[in-house]
Amino acid sequence: MKYLLKNDFLRKLLLVNNKDLVIISRFKTEIMKYLNVAEKNDAAKNIAMHLSRGTSRRREGFSKFNKIYEFESEIIGQKCQMVMTSVSGHLLGLEFVSAYKHWQSCNPLSLFDAPVFKHCPENYENIKKTLEREVRSCQGLIIWTDCDREGENIGFEIIEVCTAVKSSLKIFRAKFSEITSVSVWRALQNLAQPNKNISDAVDVRQELDLRIGAAFTRFQTLRLQKVFPATLAQNLVSYGSCQFPTLGFVVERYRAIENFVTEMFWKIKVNHTMNNLSIDFSWERVRLFDQPACQVLHDICMENPQAKVTNVKTKPKSKWRPLPLDTVELEKLASRKLKINAKETMHIAEKLYTQGFISYPRTETNEFPKEMNLGQLVAHQTGDPNWGAFAQNILDSGGPTPRQGNKSDKAHPPIHPTKYASNLSGNEQRLYEFIVRSFLACCSKDAQGQETTVNIEVAREMFSASGLMITARNYLEVYPYDKWSSKEIHVYETGQIFNPTSIDMLEGSTSPPNLLTEADLIALMEKHGIGTDATHAEHIETIKSRSYVTLADAHFVPGVLGMGLVEGYDAMGLALARPHLRAALEADLRAVCEGRKRPDLVLAEQIAKYKEVYLTVTAEANKIDEALAGRLSEQAVEYTPTVETFVSLPPVFKCPKCNSDMIVKQQKNNADKLYISCISFPKCKNAVWLPTIVKTIDVLPESCESCGPNYKKLKFEWRNNSISHMYPPPYIGCIGGCDMTFLELLKVNISTVKNVSGNNRALTTQSNVVTSSNNRNANMIQTNTSVSRQNITNQPRQFVPPPTVNRTQNATNPSISIPTNNNTTNPPRIQTASSTGSGEENNVFCGCNKPAILLTVRKQNANHGKKFYKCPTGLDNGGCDFFLWAPESGENVPNRSETSSSSSGYHSHSTGTWGESSSFPTNDTHQEDNSVMCNCNMPCKRVTVQKEGPNKGRPFYGCSKDFSSRCTFFQWADGETNTEWRGATRGGGGRGVARGAARGAGRGAARGEGAARRCGLCRREGHTRNRCPDA
């Protein structure tokens, strides 16, 4: 027994007692949801209409030009939900990284090897956002782009965007040649896989066009603007590997005309007129370029002027109906017959296609497949008053029998009408009519006739004439674009003798060939493999827009600039204006499409070819100058590019993210702000942001001995003296990580300059100084011992003698002497003293380790007349934001623990802060606790948190020293320990308080146990350091 089960049933077959027991259990299956993406909005609209049978629901996407259509459909009998939307051509564009975008930023030669990346242009971002949003709720993706090379590549751009959001998508390709109900339903039930080979060929072509075009265009433009400032100062002198061969065809024909030498010739013509019918007999010799010889032969004929009929031959004559239309023929015939240029022709054809009136207009095929139902297509046209009767006659005479060509791209049939259109106007109606008439003509029969040829002899010289009688016009009745007229002739018999009416010797001259029409130019491009059927019109428009050629009476004439460029390259012996280089590339691209060649090898080979040509061009550039000088009537200015012509930015080090060069740049909106950026931006966004204290940076040719050859030494100049006591200017150093103190001062994240791996990210420098950090700016220095976060515990502090700074060392290499103590985990401290300029000791230091300046409030308010201490440099000039009220007369200068939080400017972003959770009111009394020792091996002070928050009122221990020399020790007094020290001792007097202390103490405590975990590298919540995207 057979059981027919529906798709939503599960059948289990069990064998029980040698009998089949069929158990059918129904279950609910999840309905698949597919995102469908077409190449244009009109295509998406019409495909959705056919697949939904007119029931699709429209809604808006982020792009107002690309709508979304929702409907239900079936794929191989399975119900599914469909979301149909569209792009607008290519979604992603290929560009150079930012360092190579500006014309003066690099030598054009470097563009052959410069990094490139694909990105979404700003005007297509909304389309991209629509795809990203819609694909999240879908399980499958169906590509409905045009089935040609560009369409396949656009499909892979869509796939790239969608899989970045949802990698588990099932991906399919719909293949169709017309947007009709039958075609799109057939495509939906026969889904295939996208063809990566075809997309790769487009990627290769795009990259080559970008590199070759940019390199030669920049070279030509920058040079010729300098050499011919009066004529070309504002001109873009572009180059393209298809543009120049196209220009070359026009120049070659113009040269042929310009160099043509006219020659005189002579010929003999015999005329026989009878009963008002005149017949001319043509000479078998055609013509002679020797007048005396022709004269002798003419004289002989005149001596015996009788003609004898030697042969009369009558045979059937046919005029072939046109072949099915491919793209090239459509462009050529529209240009010749309709006077519509190729660009407009393709624009109209695209519109007719998306409206469903014609099949896909970009095809190389000129033969209809045998299985195609042409009769149905002919039947659509029977209602037209102009050609309907002819269409009906085709059906009544056995059906369409199209003439077959010999070309097929295996993708699309020839161009043909898909349905009848009666509401078109203008050129749309004219082009649609031409396509219909061409289709009906090729499905009809050849025109038939009878041709009679008569041969005569006059004094042994042979002449002939012919006549034509049309017996059946056939296709000519519907195809007015061809002419075939009858030509009457007298009735002659073999052996008949008659006297000619006249025997004349005529004089003539040879004429040069005509200038190229657009149809002629397209034919030459097709013959030599320049561009594709889809790009011919684009290349022609480009050379017109650049003024390389002009149109005169529908014929192309080269402009003076175009002529000069071609002549200049020809003088070098280069074939840039010949089709050979580009034709070889097109052949390679076809091989990539067919899987016979690897795209990377083709790319490398072609780049090497054009790079070699470029080097020759730059070496002999004066030949272009000489050729153009003769054409432009302007004296060439002497021009020799120097090293300074292009701003070369020397690399500082290799980017740890992508291994590209990192270079020094200025911010666009703030020239005083320097940063080090990856040249691959925006593909790579790694950057080293430098504080405003850095005034200038010069990249030196020497490499750092510690960090290796990829890290160059840098010469720094400071905007103020806040760190001059540690790194006197001009300071020569490195930011590769060999001097962690220097990185800490510049607030440089180590991960932006060096690859950092491992959970504790411990880095060992050349001087055996090991650092450990769990945030961007805080690092710890310890000698001869690797310290991780887990090693920091609340242990008894042991005294460590402060290190000393050798002030007499070379300014480019400051030395910090740090004694080693392997029995302690406490970091070393650096202390110093300073005096005021008056000689009076000043024990108030700002966060920059400078004697604070004493100022008086001048503003009329409650604090008028009060004195306060402030950083002498100021935050805007690279200093700190230190602020402290001065004591009243008779009082001593308070230390940090006696300073009000409301009056102290020693904030969390200043060096040496306690953290956000602590506050010190002036009326609070602090107790020293000899049982708890700080990092300085001194009794701690017991302080109470006054700031509003979860820790308000909670006591803790801190260093009892003055804020200018205080260490970063912190411990809760209620028994819960938090003594982790995350700061870094900075070599220099009084700057031993680290920025990381705030995070290690008050901030961590104030956040509480329930707070979200932060990454130890980037400080963002939601992940840990071993999963950090910046790692």
DSSP labels for 340-383?
--HHHHHHHHHHHHHTTSB--S-----S--TTS-HHHHHHTTTT
Domains of the chain from N-terminus onward: 32-194 (3.40.50.140), 203-259+514-632 (1.10.460.10), 264-320+448-509 (2.70.20.10), 327-444 (1.10.290.10), 653-817 (no CATH), 819-1031 (no CATH)
* Two structure tokens written together for 445: 């029969």
Query: Which positions ≥6 away from 571 have C-beta within 8 Å?
Result: 620, 623, 624, 626, 627
Please answer whether residues 97 and 680 qualify as being in contact, where contact means their C-beta atoms are separated by less than 8 angstroms: yes
Give the pLDDT confidence of 185-202 residue by residue, as tens digits: 999 999 999 999 999 999
Instruction: Please state the φ and ψ torsions of residue 506, each to the nearest 5 degrees.
Output: -105, 150
Q: Is the pLDDT of residue 799 over 80?
A: no
Query: Which positions ≥6 away from 189 have C-beta within 8 Å?
Result: 75, 76
In this prediction, residue 639 has a pLDDT band, given cuts at 50, 70 and 90, of confident
Q: Which of 24-28, 227-231, 388-392, 631-635 has the lowest mean pLDDT?
A: 24-28
Please answer whether residues 192 and 175 qualify as being in contact, where contact means their C-beta atoms are separated by less than 8 angstroms: yes
- Rounded to the nearest integer, the mean pLDDT of the chain is 79
Beta-bridge partners for 74 = 79
Tell how far CA 814 is from the center of its chain.
47
Q: Is 413 exposed, middle or buried (0-12, 13-18, 19+ CB in 10 A)?
A: buried
Give the pLDDT confidence of 949-972 residue by residue, as tens digits: 677 788 888 887 765 466 667 787
In this prediction, residue 453 has a pLDDT band, given cuts at 50, 70 and 90, of very high
More confident residue, 123 or 872: 123
Tell how far CA 74 is from the center of its chain.
36
Q: Is 614 known to be catalytic?
A: no
Cα(903)–Cα(170) distance, integer angstroms:
64
Cα(621)–Cα(569) distance, integer angstroms:
9
* Two structure tokens written together for 438: 């061409």
| Interior/surface letters 213-227, b for 16+ CB within 10 angstroms, e for the rest | bbbbbbbbbbbbbbb
| Interior/surface letters 984-1014, b for 16+ CB within 10 angstroms, e for the rest | bbbbbbbbbbbbbbbbbbbbbbbbeeeeeeb
Give the other-Cβ count within 10 Å of 423's Cβ: 6
Query: Which positions ≥6 away from 642 have C-beta within 8 Å?
Result: none
Element (H, E) at 43: helix 41-52
Beta-bridge partners for 866 = none
Give the pLDDT confidence of 594-629 residue by residue, as tens digits: 999 999 999 999 999 999 999 999 999 999 999 999
* Two structure tokens written together for 1000: 């290690």
Please answer whether residues 128 and 93 qualify as being in contact, where contact means their C-beta atoms are separated by less than 8 angstroms: no
Distances (CA, A) of 835 to 314, 849, 851, 888: 125, 11, 7, 21
Cα(833)–Cα(964) distance, integer angstroms:
10
Q: Is the pLDDT of residue 124 over 60?
A: yes
Give the pLDDT confidence of 154-192 residue by residue, as tens digits: 999 999 999 999 999 999 999 988 888 888 999 999 999
Cα(301)–Cα(316) distance, integer angstroms:
33
Q: Which of 435-449, 669-683, 786-800 has the lowest mean pLDDT?
A: 786-800
Please answer whether residues 100 and 106 qualify as being in contact, where contact means their C-beta atoms are separated by less than 8 angstroms: yes
Cα(202)–Cα(16) distance, integer angstroms:
61
In this prediction, residue 855 has a pLDDT band, given cuts at 50, 70 and 90, of confident
**Catalytic hit among 360, 711, 727, 957:** 360
Give the pLDDT confidence of 35-81 residue by residue, as tens digits: 999 999 989 999 999 999 999 999 999 999 999 999 999 988 889 99
Q: Is 462 exposed, middle or buried (0-12, 13-18, 19+ CB in 10 A)?
A: middle
The one-letter amino acid at 755: N
Give the other-Cβ count within 10 Å of 593's Cβ: 19
The DSSP annotation for 265-296 comes to EEEEEEEEEETTEEEEEEETT--BS-HHHHHH
Tell how far CA 680 is from the center of its chain.
13
Give the pLDDT confidence of 369-422 residue by residue, as tens digits: 887 889 999 999 999 999 999 999 999 998 899 998 888 877 788 999 999 998
The one-letter amino acid at 689: W
Q: Is 82 exposed, middle or buried (0-12, 13-18, 19+ CB in 10 A)?
A: buried
Q: Is the pLDDT of residue 474 over 80?
A: yes
Cα(660)–Cα(640) distance, integer angstroms:
31
Please answer whether residues 412 and 147 qualify as being in contact, where contact means their C-beta atoms are separated by less than 8 angstroms: yes
Element (H, E) at 71: strand 68-75
Q: Say what the pTM is.
A: 0.64
Q: Is the pLDDT of residue 239 over 70?
A: yes
Residue 749 DSSP one-character state: -
Q: Is the pLDDT of residue 853 over 70?
A: yes
* Two structure tokens written together for 589: 């691209």
* Two structure tokens written together for 898: 């006696």
Give the pLDDT confidence of 687-725 residue by residue, as tens digits: 898 888 888 888 998 999 888 888 999 999 888 887 887
Average pLDDT over residues 916-924: 37
Q: Is the pLDDT of residue 986 over 70?
A: no
Q: Show the DSSP H helices in 190-338 as ranges.
A: 196-227, 229-232, 243-258, 291-303, 327-333
